[in-house]
Structure 1
């Protein structure tokens, strides 16, 4: 699924929960920043989208708990890919246990965001990530 919000920042969200994809999209729209959002339902689908080199997002957000290939496995695969290794990857999950966060950072995550029911809090966090992203 691809949703355009006018702008020049491309974001991939990898999350198997369609409701979380919708919340992510609404939150991105609320940031007031133009972005293009792509979605993948698991790590395998994300690697397929990214595989041929035709799609290179500026930022990637990954849920940890997914079927087929979990978020940490996908993070590892992305960081081993010479083309994608420098792309900022943020883990985006309901699990924020210290051990999980530490492991994700050790694997190369740029940051960790806890899913929150508070849309305003999410908007602030997403805005901060977008504002501080690497130069395009």
Structure 2
């Protein structure tokens, strides 16, 4: 039996949450999702030690606390140091990708790319995560 994987999906756009969750479920049917509407909401969910996701996907462009601000604060949470964070955005400019990596992101996925490309990226990411379980 394949292990369950707990995914925290941080995005202020509910339609994008649904689309990305559907693509991820198609990639790995044992995925379970927790949603946050922005970086502040995500940090609130992660403050206690009872919720530890296997992986986090965070949009860069969000109100209140954007994805990069979230990533900076998240990386200060020592009890979650091993949780990989993948950023995504409509732009995949190298400067943005490099900035995400310098802040501690494990990778970057372009939002609104071809669905098969996104699915393939998620499959690789999830395969790497599940191989560690």
Q: Does 1:129 align with 2:125?
A: yes
Q: Give the aligned partner of residue 104 of structure 1.
A: 100
In 2: Cα distance, 1:7 partner to 1:93 partner: 28
Residue pair 1:59, 1:87 contacting (<8 A) in 2 also: yes
Task: Please tell me the root mean square deviation across aligned C-alpha atoms, in Å.
Answer: 1.5
Aligned to 1:30: 26
Q: Which has the higher helix share?
A: 2
- 1:117, distance to aligned residue in structure 2 (A): 4.7
Alignment TM-score, normalising by the size of structure 1: 0.90
What is the aligned residue count?
Answer: 131
Task: Give the deviation of 1:7 after TM superposition.
Answer: 5.1
| Structure 1 runs, 4 residues or longer, greater than 3 Å off | none
TM-score with structure 2 setting the length = 0.92
Structure 1 portions without partners, runs of 5+: 1-5
Q: How big is the shift at 1:32?
A: 3.8
For structure 2, the 5+ residue unaligned runs are none
